[in-house]
Amino acid sequence: MMITSGITALLLAVPCLAASLADLTQPDSVDATSGRARPPRPTTAPRTGNYIKATVRKEQVAITNNATSSSNATTTTTATALARRWGRLPLSLYESGIVYLMDGKSDRHVPGQTVEVVVDTASYELYVNPDCARAANPAFCAGAGRYDARGSGTAENLTTRFGVSFGSGGYAGTYFCDTLTLGDDSWPVANQQFGVATASAYVWAGMIGLGYGEGYNTQYPALLDRLVEDEYISQRVFSVGLGGASGVNSDIIFGGVDYHKFEGWMEPVEIWPSPAEQMQQFGQVGYWVNLTSLGHTRPGQSSTEQLTPAGFTRMMLLDTGSTFSYMDAEIVAALGQQFEATLDEQQGIYYVSCSYLNGTEEDDDDEGSGHVHFGFNQGGVVIDVKYEDFIVDLGGRCALGVQSADVGATSWVLGDTFIRGAYMVFDQYYDAVWLANYRPCGGEAVADLGKDPGEQLWTEIYGGCD
Ligand SMILES: *[C@@H]1O[C@H](CO)[C@@H](O)[C@H](O)[C@H]1NC(C)=O
Ligand SMILES: *[C@@H]1O[C@H](CO)[C@@H](O)[C@H](O)[C@H]1NC(C)=O
Ligand SMILES: *[C@@H]1O[C@H](CO)[C@@H](O)[C@H](O)[C@H]1NC(C)=O
Ligand SMILES: *[C@@H]1O[C@H](CO)[C@@H](O)[C@H](O)[C@H]1NC(C)=O
Ligand SMILES: *[C@@H]1O[C@H](CO)[C@@H](O)[C@H](O)[C@H]1NC(C)=O
């Protein structure tokens, strides 16, 4: 993400809040595909067209300033409306965590202001300029870039206040409009509304929320809405491939899918409860899906041990902003036993041997690596996460990638320790998340997702290199 000034000549002076997403006819849901056979494997390459690719960088960030983490978020008093981020803090509260940052690629032709932001599927707005003195890592915060409205000819101060809080952290400030540029090719999005913080706690970078926007969580077109409105892409869909633990080639593709990052068909997993029901029940919408099984295979073995009973189902939030996943305490304990983990009761963290990170480099098909298996749609798709993607390196010490959730529906999270094993299409048109195992076969092959992305993913887009 880059916030620039100096490209006014290209822009129309539309008022920031006036634009509204044109009504899109939406299919009933991904149910439309159930009971419907998949066609034979396609023999022609899918079409290519419009999409925006944004490279994502993996970063390990240590907590160096714990004075802020337990103090009150500064946010609550000043905001006219207080939003709440789903799920967990974007960093674990202990020592350090791993986050994925959208890389602000500087463009030599535009004197832009580059701002790095955490990629977050569990929130829905863009926030910049945290208070670095109160950040969990002030040095990282200082290097992540700042937005200067006064240095931009296109900035508009909307003067309305915002606040967002998540547990011990949050941002508060004033909404602005300005031209953002997005993706590796720096596509401009004019008059995008976003929050410029004047106070914050804990957070050490900006954040870009990729959740449901206008009509659900926001009163104005969020960035994804604007990409459709500005006809960069056809529907509100984006693909996420964070890649393995090494994090090479992590990217987000707005309006497209890279079919060299998975094999075979992708499976649609319905967002449940539906966005409309979530609005009624929770007052906001997140990417919640039902997990239907969790299993485990030890390194060098082929038999899988199921850790969940038959008929198991648990709604889980897909959250790229969370270093860890969070599940039922008994399941986490059972998994901890498999890894001979030591539980730190105070922090709720399961420490494991860092040798699990070594991987099986010499073993191309990863047969030798242990796996944790996440099942959806009653076995319709199972994501096999390799040990080295599942274990979190906290810098010298290693932790199991899942921790026990607090009681309460909003705390079951599939964070990065799951997401690294998957290739995913977040589909706000069919209200589904399409899943496949992350299996890069070399190079990049991006298909454009058009007016009916579900139909394309069901019948035309088949992953693999041959
Ligand atoms: C964090 O807090 C603990 C105890 O409150 C203290 O021992 C430790 O030195 C602090 N660490 C940092 C980096 O401030
Ligand atoms: C948090 O805020 C409350 C009320 O404003 C105050 O009583 C309390 O001392 C604050 N706690 C911290 C840790 O600042
Ligand atoms: C934006 O407007 C608010 C409210 O009028 C004001 O307090 C703030 O200083 C302004 N910010 C900038 C950067 O001009
Ligand atoms: C998700 O699981 C719940 C039970 O926990 C069930 O009632 C619901 O129908 C499931 N939704 C989908 C889409 O499978
Ligand atoms: C993993 O690597 C470390 C250091 O690179 C080594 O000390 C350890 O023995 C290795 N463990 C296994 C199980 O290969």
Ligand 5, residues at Cβ distance < 6 Å: 355, 358
**pLDDT class of 96 with cuts at 50, 70, 90:** low
Q: Which of 75-89, 220-234, 356-370 has the lowest mean pLDDT?
A: 75-89
Could you tell me if 267 and 434 are in contact, meaning their C-beta atoms sit under 8 angstroms apart?
yes
Could you name the CATH architecture of 2-20+45-229? Beta Barrel (2.40)
259-459 falls under which CATH superfamily?
Acid Proteases (2.40.70.10)
Please, what's the b/e burial string for 199-211 (b: 16 or more CB within 10 A of its CB; e: otherwise)? bbbbbbbbbbbbb
Distance 27 CA to ligand 4 centre (A): 20
Could you tell me if 116 and 103 are in contact, meaning their C-beta atoms sit under 8 angstroms apart?
yes
Spans of all domains in the chain: 2-20+45-229, 259-459
Average pLDDT, integer, range 84-92: 67
Q: Which of 9-18, 213-222, 312-321 has the lowest mean pLDDT?
A: 9-18
Instruction: Give tens-digit pLDDT for 378-409.
Output: 999 999 999 989 999 887 889 999 998 876 55
Distance 137 CA to ligand 1 centre (A): 13
Instruction: Write out the two tokens for 203.
Output: 């957070």
**Is the Cβ atom of 78 under 6 angstroms away from ligand 3?**
no
**Is the Cβ atom of 338 under 6 angstroms away from ligand 1?**
no
Average pLDDT, integer, range 314-328: 92
**Distance from the Cα of residue 119 to its chain's centroid:** 5
**Distance from the Cα of residue 217 to its chain's centroid:** 16
The pLDDT score that the predictor gives to residue 166 is 74
The pLDDT score that the predictor gives to residue 73 is 47
106 pLDDT more than 50: no
Instruction: Give tens-digit pLDDT for 248-290.
Output: 678 999 999 999 999 999 999 999 999 999 999 999 999 999 9
Catalytic annotation present for 120: yes
**pLDDT class of 41 with cuts at 50, 70, 90:** confident
**pLDDT class of 151 with cuts at 50, 70, 90:** confident
| Whole-angstrom distance, CA of residue 198 vs CA of residue 329 | 38
183 pLDDT more than 80: yes
The pLDDT score that the predictor gives to residue 19 is 41
120 pLDDT more than 80: yes
Q: Which of 78-82, 193-197, 334-338 has the lowest mean pLDDT?
A: 78-82
Average pLDDT, integer, range 109-114: 61
Could you tell me if 137 and 63 are in contact, meaning their C-beta atoms sit under 8 angstroms apart?
yes
The pLDDT score that the predictor gives to residue 448 is 94
Which listed residue (131, 319, 384, 389) is catalytic? 319
The pLDDT score that the predictor gives to residue 235 is 96
Residue with CA closest to ligand 3 atom 11: 157
Catalytic annotation present for 319: yes
**pLDDT class of 222 with cuts at 50, 70, 90:** very high
**Is the Cβ atom of 66 under 6 angstroms away from ligand 1?**
yes
Of the candidates 251, 255, 261, the one whose C-alpha atom is nearest the C-alpha of residue 238 is 255
Instruction: Give tens-digit pLDDT for 347-364.
Output: 788 999 998 887 654 444
Distance 148 CA to ligand 3 centre (A): 12
Q: Which of 82-91, 113-122, 313-322 has the lowest mean pLDDT?
A: 82-91
Distance 165 CA to ligand 2 centre (A): 15
Of the candidates 94, 167, 102, 103, the one whose C-alpha atom is nearest the C-alpha of residue 392 is 94
The pLDDT score that the predictor gives to residue 225 is 97
